[in-house]
Amino acid sequence: MTAQKKYVVGITDHMFGAPDLEAEVLGDDVEIDFFATTDETLFSPERLARLDALMVWGARLGPKSIAQLSRCRGVVRYGVGYEKIDLSALADAGIPFANNPDYGTEEVADHALAMMLSLHRRLWEHDARARGYTTGWQVHSLKPLARSNRTTVGVIGVGRIGTAVVNRLKPFGFRILGYDPGQPPGHEKAVGYERADRLDDLFAQADIVTLHCPANDETRGILGADGLSRLKPGAILVNTARGELLDDLDALEASLRNGHLAAAAIDTLAQEPPRDHPLLTAWRDRSDWLEGRLVITPHNAFYSDHAAIEMRHNAAQTIKILLEEGRLRNQITA
């Protein structure tokens, strides 16, 4: 006869198959109930009512599900963002919530830097156009193309990942501006960048803008039509943060078509997989006007084999500490 487990931990879903690593971290006293779906409507009230804790990957968690978590001591998201989690409903139910900020920093910073350098050097555009050259070769160098030490990079959000990006940019000689009202005075001196006190100051000066901030009431749509129009003409835009920061595809298409925006690289979209849109059709079709100027990766800037293990281990460890010690690290309040 199998002994009853001391705790039950639910896992809504994740992209890595069976939750074997989580089971190893949580130990023999924990039963894992793996829902294996991102569809919140399929969460059984009976299963939710059994849970001592819940781990969430890509699923939404709203009031109806939260109301069923009668035993739950805490909810932990595998990732950093928590836009799909109803924090107010959790707070009303007295259930604490935590995210998982301490994984994948290196990967996202590397991904952003790779995007910046490749667009700055116009590598994808050179590659696309070189395939059609039948005469000449070096004479086809694309212009303008500035030196790194004559180029200003604007980093919006200088937290963990933004700081890692700043540290990676320094050896290339870029001038680095950082905008982050949440960082204390002197942070720029400790990390090594110039502070921009106003976002418009960064927009006016930056040849490359890279986003590393959360999506909240202050930042959603920060680079919609109005924000894009305030960028320096010929700027490059990189977004490895949140799709909601750059959710106006009409404005992005217009800015790329008229040349105000030289190029863009995007890892996160407001809707994933992306909906149909003329800009995305042109990207898929490798339209001549756009080829090499728009790069889209499928929300995997966070990923490496090591980061995937780190993410799962850290999220499970947060649950283990909660169950064994009664404290929730990385707690977020509404």
How far is it, in rounded angstroms, from Cα 251 to Cα 229?
9
Return the closest-CA partner of residue 100 out of 82, 78, 84, 75.
78
Amino acid occupying residue 190: A
How far is it, in rounded angstroms, from Cα 81 to Cα 215?
8
Active site residue 272: yes
Q: Measured in whole angstroms, how far is the alpha carbon of residue 9 from the centre of its chain?
A: 26
Q: DSSP H helical segments within 4-134, as ranges?
A: 20-26, 45-49, 63-66, 87-93, 105-120, 123-130
Of the residues 175, 187, 277, 299, only one is catalytic, namely: 299
Of the residues 24, 83, 272, 324, only one is catalytic, namely: 272
- Beta pairing, strands 331-332 & 97-98: antiparallel
Active site residue 242: yes
How far is it, in rounded angstroms, from Cα 265 to Cα 269?
11
Q: 151 and 120 in contact (C-beta within 8 Å)?
A: yes
Return the closest-CA partner of residue 294 out of 231, 248, 236, 241.
236
Of the residues 168, 242, 293, 312, only one is catalytic, namely: 242
- In angstroms and rounded to an integer, the radius of gyration of the C-alpha atoms of the chain is 22
Residues belonging to the active site: 242, 272, 299
